Amino acid sequence: MEVQWKTKEQLGEYVMERLNHDPRQMSDKERNRMSERIRAKLKAGKKLSPEEIRFLQQTDPAAYMEYLRIRQMADSLKAQLKSARTKQEVNRIIAAALNSVSDKDPAKEYIIAAMNEVIKEFKASPEYKKLPDTDADLAKKKRKSQPKDTADQEEDFNPMDWSPLQEVIDELPTFDHPA
């Protein structure tokens, strides 16, 4: 029983140490290692862990703000891709997003990497695989999904054959009385 208590106590101390981990108390070597790991993740377009975000926020607020801007752009692209109706539209959205990044932007490399990561994830998703290739394919798919009866009725309707009076007459009750 006492062994379990010691294990729980050690676990609690470890958790508290990780939660209260202050980057200013880290050695220069640890800080450099963490900075390199963050930079490598950003170059790969990956999201940062909460611990890495906290480290960045405490040690380099400017880089933290840049990270938030990069994530916002990537999330915006992700939302646009999810709203696309065809693969052709997906390609247009991707081209527009990648072209919107300025060559003079100091974080261009990180932004492009984050966008490429979002694009790769989306193209591997089942949502993308279900999309029709072109707008013409989408129109064909819509036509196939429409019920045939309503389409035929709309084609057979002639406005010259219709009158409001005829509609009223059709609705009147009929009486069959033997003579």
How many other β-carbons are positioned within 10 Å of the β-carbon of residue 24? 7
Residue 28: predicted pLDDT: 84
CB 81 within 8 A of CB 127: no
DSSP 45: T
**Band (13; pLDDT cuts 50, 70, 90):** low
pTM here is 0.65
Phi-psi category of residue 86: left, alpha or beta, with phi > 0 → left and psi -120 to 50 → alpha = beta
Residue 133: predicted pLDDT: 81
Maximal CA-CA distance, the chain: 112
State CA 50 to chain mean position distance: 20
Lowest mean pLDDT among 2-6, 97-101, 130-134, 138-142: 2-6
> Does 36 score more than 70 pLDDT?
yes
Rounded Cα–Cα distance for residues 33 and 27 (Å): 10
Phi-psi category of residue 47: left, alpha or beta, with phi > 0 → left and psi -120 to 50 → alpha = beta
**How high does pLDDT run on average in the chain?**
82
Rounded Cα–Cα distance for residues 59 and 93 (Å): 35
Helix, strand, coil % in the chain, rounded to nearest 5: 75, 0, 25
